[in-house]
Amino acid sequence: MLTVALPKGALLKDCIRLFQAAGLDFSAFLDSSNRQLQITDPTGVAQALLVRTHDVPVYVEYGQAQLGIAGYDVLQEKKPNVAQVRNLGFGFCRMSVAVKASSPYRSAMELPPHSRVASKFVHCARDYFDRLDLPVEIIPLYGSVELGPITGMSEAIVDLVSTGRTLKDNGLVELEVLYESTARLIAHPRSYRLNTDGLRDWIGRLDGAIAPH
């Protein structure tokens, strides 16, 4: 039986719509009274796991799911051993460096050496500043990263930005965009290579569902 790992949160509705268009119904996850984390499609041919966004590639890498949907940002941060099969085109956001609007810095290169940068995307932030050859201290934060500059704990943040409203409401401005992110269809490499559980047929159905958009 095909197993799919779906992410909790903002991407879930679009993920479920995509699989519905391909013939699999996991909409029970949208029922607020449902507490199940694993459900089976009514046709009985596939099941889905509902997991934290950052855990999707883990379930796929270790083979508990043959397919999954994860943001490019998660894949860049975790560098999992999975096959990135398709760019699904939804869940658009960008990874950016931001500072307080009152900051004198207007580019990342203007940050003083050994500045403090807060981020939940520690590896992405580290890689970016390493490429700039600018030594900084990365402070891991997993809540409201915007509070780093607000409280003076950090000079800058590296975080996901969608509309930019959260930054604006908290008096922050973007300096640079590291990369843009969208939802990606990922697959377990061995299952993809061997076409386990008709995996490529399902990917073909998902392609057909994506095409009209």
Q: What long-range pairs does 136-143 form, CB within 8 A, spacing at least 24? A: 136/111
CATH of domain 93-180: 3.40.190.10
Going from the C-alpha of 202 to that of each of 6, 15, 50, 198, 209, the distances in angstroms are 15, 14, 19, 7, 11
The pairing of strands 67-71 and 2-7 is parallel
CATH of domain 2-91+182-210: 3.40.190.10
Q: Model confidence over 40-90: pLDDT tens digits?
A: 999 999 999 999 999 999 999 999 999 999 999 999 999 999 999 999 999
Alpha-carbon distance 202 to 138, whole Å?
41
* Displacement of CA 24 from its chain's centroid (Å): 22
**Residue 143, exposed/middle/buried by CB under 10 A (0-12, 13-18, 19+)?**
exposed
CB 125, CB 157: distance < 8 Å: no
Quick count: other Cβ atoms within 10 Å of Cβ 104? 7
Domain with CATH 3.40.190.10 in the chain: 2-91+182-210, 93-180
Helix H or strand E segment including 168:
helix 165-169
Please report, in tens digits, the pLDDT of each residue of the chain (213 residues total): 999 999 999 999 999 999 999 999 999 999 989 899 999 999 999 999 999 999 999 999 999 999 999 999 999 999 999 999 999 999 999 999 999 999 999 999 999 999 999 999 999 999 999 999 999 999 999 989 999 999 999 999 999 999 999 999 999 999 999 999 999 999 999 999 999 888 999 999 999 888 554
